[in-house]
A and B are shown apart, each in its own frame.
Chain A
Amino acid sequence: MSDTERLDRAYHYVQKFIIEHGFAPHFVDVAHEFGLKPEEGKALVHELLQTGIPCWAYPDTDYIASFAPFNSQPTQCRVTVAGETRWFAQCGFEALAITWMFPKRTVQIDAPCLDCGEALRVEILDGELQNEDPAGICAFVDIPFQEWRSHPLA
């Protein structure tokens, strides 16, 4: 198996794990999945996190903190699918992309306005905006696009 194929399988496993559980797997979970020793699973996780995808470990640990579009640590962007509030989005923008992780299911995003604290709700089905409450919600990022990679939480 090539390195890329191995990383693709690991990537797919982590995403599926988060979809099922709502949080990222530990490296031992990754090791079990691929028949590796724990240290080899840890190395695979770090290798995956260094591919340039918008994902990272909590600083100075081996815990997957964020794996776009999801976040393993709580954020202000809560995600509900089929009545289950189980996931957190990496940020307000990636919250919109979570629709692609749950095809044929309505994804509900609840996030407060960071200015006034008012509850915002967005519902999306297969990339189509179903509901926006209140109307007129906007997205804002203060980091220019070309710097996003160096500011993952812009």
Chain B
Amino acid sequence: MNLFRSEEHARRWSGYRVEAEGGLTPLRDMLYIFSAETFTERMGGHYIRDMAGFRQDLMARIQEIKGDDPFWSVPR
């Protein structure tokens, strides 16, 4: 889970795998995903109690950005 100068740099990286092409995401889109309640509510005071309920927002954001990309599919 790293940041790269560009997609071309990520593809050149020694740790890049072509099967993981779906793991490439523009910075702004990743910021949108990491703005889900899972991340915004950490200081809310009841994070452990409520964290299961935060997952829906995260899944919705991933769906919005990544569509049905199997790389981002969720276990049922």
A→B interface (CB under 8 Å): 4-5, 7-8, 11-12, 15-16, 48, 51-53, 69, 76-77, 91-97, 100-101, 109, 111, 113-116, 118, 120, 122, 124, 127, 129, 132, 134, 136-146, 153-154
Contact = CB atoms under 8 A, between A and B. Distances in A.
B24 A138 contact: yes
B39 A97 contact: yes
Contact of B9 (A53, A113, A153, A154): A113
B56 interface: no
A27 to B, nearest CB: 18
A129 B26 CA distance: 12
7 contacts: A93-B1, A93-B30, A101-B42, A138-B24, A140-B23, A140-B24, A144-B71
Interface of B: 1-7, 9-10, 12-13, 15-17, 20, 22-28, 30-31, 34-35, 39-40, 42-43, 45-49, 51, 62, 70-75
Contact of A141 (B1, B6, B47): B1
A119 B51 CA distance: 34
Given A116-B9, A139-B2, A139-B26, 20 more contacts: A5-B49, A7-B48, A12-B47, A15-B42, A16-B43, A97-B35, A100-B40, A111-B3, A113-B5, A113-B9, A114-B13, A115-B4, A132-B27, A134-B5, A137-B4, A138-B25, A139-B1, A142-B16, A144-B23, A146-B74
A80 B43 CA distance: 19
Given A12-B47, A127-B31, A139-B27, A146 B2 contact: no
